[in-house]
Structure 1
Amino acid sequence: MNKLTLKAVILSVIGLGLLLPSLDAAKSNVLYKDQVAVIMYHHVDDDAKSGGTITTKLFQDQLTLLKKKGYQFITLRQFKDYMQGASVPNNAVLVTFDDGYESFYVNAYPILKSMRIPAVNFVITNDLENPLASYIPSMSRDDIIEMTSDTNFIDAQCHTHNFHYKLPDGNAALIGRMVNNGKRETDEEYKQRVITDTQACVAKLAELYPEPIDSYAYPYGIYDKTSIGYIHEGGMNYAFTVVPEMVTRQLDPMQLPRINAGNSAISPEGLDTSIMRRVVAPNPPSTEVPLIETMNQLGGKAALSSGGHVSIQYQTLQWSGSVNSSKLTSLSAKPPISIQKPLYMKNNKLYIALKDLETVIGSQIVYNPNVQSFSVQQSPTVKK
């Protein structure tokens, strides 16, 4: 019996004991509905030290706590069905890994298998040619074939074929322009380079197992509108970022957020808290909000003078208006805007319609019922 098999047997016995009490909790403890916490890992190793590495114990402890709390782990197929309109279990979590490291097969997979927790690993397929040559050893073809054939809940998807590096000018290979012999590649050459790389990743993984290869994780979390279009043309229908938010069906499937779990400083309780702080309510508690308090929550400012003058500041935007007025004048070279409902006073507080406030700051606002506050939704966001 090899070490990996023995490790899986031991963990399966432990995992069975952990699984039973969590099933009742998962049925009864509704933490959130109709959204998915996609959590992100890279390297699970007991010796390596880096910001993206956690120990096997911490990894298992995180998953164990989430199960006990009532989180329900879903497959990539379930996630894609949800994005297409299907229902999803309450407290849904999708586990993802980047980079295709061998440590996933040796250390993470036995834990996932014993606890019957689905996961997807985004693989750099060029590393399949010589898995042990990279600084951190990568999985082999046989590793991927074994995991995907032994279970119906482990997936391998694209982290590019050979774009996991940065160009001499510091740009990520996915969005930068290469220079050969002093000549910068043309827009058409760049387009073909991205499409070809994406298609190569699809082809390499399609040789290993029969599930659709249509999901992608952006290297370094860096992408732009142009690269989104080209990787979609290369076969990708879903792409994951590193923006730490919950996934809802309303988001762009090519700009899906993920919550980092793969850092040694993230305790099991810390991961639970991180997820819960990002839960969004399907509907906010009110269509109108107190302007000053809400702007403070969003990271901006609003003020009301004794004469009824109102000022609003968010990032580089500055607006000026007055109580009972539907017009706001820009102090930052923007044209004035008209809001649907005038600013008004109630119980000595200044109120604004939530939809109007979204117009003012130029972003969607979401409400977290767990911390009872509003925040600006970061997704989708692309590098200009």
Structure 2
Amino acid sequence: MSKLVIKAIILSVIGLCIVIPSLYAAKSSVIYKDQVAVIMYHHVDDEAKSSGTVTTKLFQDQLALLKNKGYQFITLKQFKEFMTGASVPNNAVLVTFDDGYESFYTNAYPILKSMRIPAVNFVITGDLEDPLASYIPSMSRDEIIEMTNDTNFIDLQCHTNGMHQKLPDDKAMLVGRIVTNGIKETEEQYKQRIVNDTAQCVSKLSELYPEPIDTYAYPFGIYDKLSVQYIGQGGMKFAFTIVPEMATRDLDPFQIPRINAGNPAITPEGLENSIKRRVVATNHPFNEVDLTDTMSQLGGKAALSGNQVQIQYQNVHWTGTINSQNLTALPGGKAIHLQKPLILKNKKVYIGLNDLETVLGVQLVYNPNSQSFSVRQTPVVKK
């Protein structure tokens, strides 16, 4: 064997030794842990055009990119176990669909099956009676039975039995009160309507599918305290919203956020960036923060004039002084006592993170990817 050939082989081996570890590192890198990106779709179709429809190619490309980047897809069962204390893989993703369209069976399911990616579809069970009657055809009972018998990673859950619509006053049926012949339903009638509708959804899916039916997606993402209470009485233990945040274990299980992936303008790279922008640092190191920078990130303002500190957020103003543990809200003059004094370091004003949350009346989360704070919309359950 010539020296040139031997040299070429050696260089090739060295090259592989360099490339393979780097590829493995890219695939196994930890983007986030102990949280889940729940992504949301509705309709996968190559002919229909709408803001809630993606093509089969875009759907497959989105999932392929996430998979190649090291995201790990989990089942609904794993997600529910996570919410009650279990661990999940790093970079966990749960795929969800709303509405129970037949396109899930014909277009999305073959892709999910070939890629071994779990998913859950929230079904309007009233449509099971005549699946082809709706504007967009729905899945049939036979199609649901086929998918769930053929795999162990496709879930079907509740999107109401017959309440995925708006009332004449434009309120969602889940939260509005029905008026019949000029008479508005009583609060007891409203309660029974929600409880019974939820129980019907559970009953119909339970006939097709052996797994627990205890998870809900709110129609139009609209809900309130009473509707949450009543779907719980109907058998629900978890419910999903359309608030675009990461799901962490400390959130209200009836207000689980989801990140939209089902818009035709969302590229595979755009979807990953959307997830990365919402990653939560579960143990960030900050006890105090730069007030001006943080308020700018939150859409507010903070300024220092002499010894006076001015804060503005959503049309409310506060004023205080350096080394003081008090802020005064304007208008009204209400005094807020801080746990730590406002301090000046390197010409920047610092405030305790817990104090800032108290002042603004919000919970703040830190994103390590963007190194910035944001206001969390989904409420945390106090332990």
TM more than 0.5: yes
Tell me the distance in 1 between the aligned counterparts of 2:209 and 2:26. Answer: 31
Alpha-carbon displacement from aligned partner over 1:111-140 (angstroms, at most 9, x marks no partner): 000000000000000000000000000000
- The CA distance in 2 between the partners of 1:106 and 1:332, in whole Å, is 59
Counterpart-to-counterpart distance in 1, 2:234 and 2:185: 19
CA positional deviation for 1:380: 2.7
Displacement after TM superposition at 1:26 (Å): 8.3
Please tell me whether Structure 1 or Structure 2 has the larger radius of gyration of its CA atoms.
Answer: 2
Q: Is the 8 A contact 1:25 1:70 kept in 2?
A: no
Question: What is the CA deviation profile of residues 202-253 of structure 1, one whole-angstrom value per residue up to 9, with x for unaligned ones?
Answer: 0010000110000000000001111111111111110000000000001000
Amino acid at match of 1:301: K
Paired with 1:40 and 1:197, the residues of 2 have a C-alpha distance of: 23
SS of 1:227's partner is helix
| Residues 316 and 332, structure 1, Cα contact 8 Å, conserved in 2 | no
Q: Which residue of 1 is the match for residue 90 of structure 2?
A: 90
2:27·2:68 contact (CA, 8 Å) conserved in 1?
A: no
Q: 1:334 to 1:236 in 2, by over 3 A?
A: farther
1:28 Cα deviation after fit: 2.0
Match of 1:304 in 2: 304
Paired residue type of 1:60: Q
Amino acid at match of 1:227: S
Which residue in the other structure is 1:52 paired with? 52
| 1:181 equivalenced with 2:211 (yes/no) | no
Can you list the C-alpha shifts for 1:249-270, whole angstroms capped at 9, x where unaligned? 0100000000000000000000
**What's the counterpart of residue 166 of structure 2?**
166
Shift of 1:314: 1.2
Partner deviation per Cα, 1:75-95 (whole Å, 9 max, x = no partner): 000000000100100000000
What does residue range 233-252 of structure 1 map to in structure 2 within 5 Å? 233-252=233-252
Tell me, yes or no, if the aligned pair for 1:277 and 1:370 is still in contact at 8 Å.
Answer: yes
Letter of the structure 2 residue corresponding to residue 238 of structure 1: F
Contact 1:25–1:68 (CA<8 Å) still a contact in 2?
A: no
Q: Which residue is equivalent to 1:293?
A: 293
- Whether contact under 8 Å (1:56, 1:107) holds in the other structure is yes
**CA drift at 1:321:** 1.2
CA distance in 1, matches of 2:73, 2:370: 24
Q: Does 1:331 align with 2:333?
A: no
Q: Report the Cα distance in structure 1 between the residues aligned to 2:80 and 2:334, rounded to whole angstroms.
A: 41
Q: Secondary structure at the match of 2:344?
A: strand
Equivalent residue, structure 1, for 2:139? 139
- Matching residue of 1:61: 61
Structure 2 counterpart of 1:340: 339
TM-score (norm 2): 0.92
Quote how far apart the aligned CAs of 1:318 are.
1.8
The 2-side partners of 1:280 and 1:94 are apart by 16
Q: CA RMSD in A?
A: 1.5
Instruction: Confirm whether residue 198 of structure 1 aligns to residue 198 of structure 2.
Output: yes
Partner amino acid for 1:42? H
Q: In the alignment, is the contact (CA less than 8 A) between 2:251 and 2:378 conserved in 1?
A: yes
Counterpart Cα distance in 2 of 1:129 and 1:24: 49
Q: Which amino acid aligns with 2:112?
A: L
Instruction: Name the SS for the 1:272 alignment partner.
Output: helix
Give the drift of 1:328. 1.1
Alignment of 1:58-137 (within 5 A): 58-137=58-137
**Closer, same or farther in 2 for the Cα pair 1:178/1:117, shift >3 Å?**
same
**Which amino acid is 1:114 matched to?**
S
Correspondences of 1:251-290 after superposition (within 5 Å) = 251-290=251-290
1:324, 1:343 within 8 Å by CA — same for their partners in 2?
yes
Structure-2 change in CA distance of 1:373 and 1:201 (3 Å): same
The separation in 1 between residues aligned to 2:155 and 2:297, in whole angstroms, is 39
Is the contact made by 2:123 and 2:157 (CA closer than 8 Å) also made in structure 1?
yes
Q: Percent identity?
A: 72
How far, CA to CA, are the matches of 2:240 and 2:137 in structure 1? 23
Query: Relative to 1, partners in 2 of residues 1:290 and 1:251: Cα closer, same or farther, differing over 3 Å?
Result: same
Equivalent residue runs for 1:14-33 within 5 Å = 28-33=28-33
How far apart, in 1, do the equivalents of 2:181 and 2:346 lie? 69
Q: 8 Å contact 1:25–1:69 — kept in the other structure?
A: no
Rounded to whole Å, the distance in 2 between the matches of 1:249 and 1:76 is 14
SS class of match (1:345): strand
Q: CA deviation at 1:27?
A: 6.5
CA distance in 2, matches of 1:56, 1:186: 46
Inter-CA distance 173–95: structure 2 relative to 1 (3 Å threshold):
same
Partner of 2:105, secondary structure, is helix
> SS at 1:96's partner residue?
strand
CA spacing shift, 1:235–1:24, aligned 2, 3 Å: farther
Q: Specify the alignment match of 2:19 in structure 1.
A: none
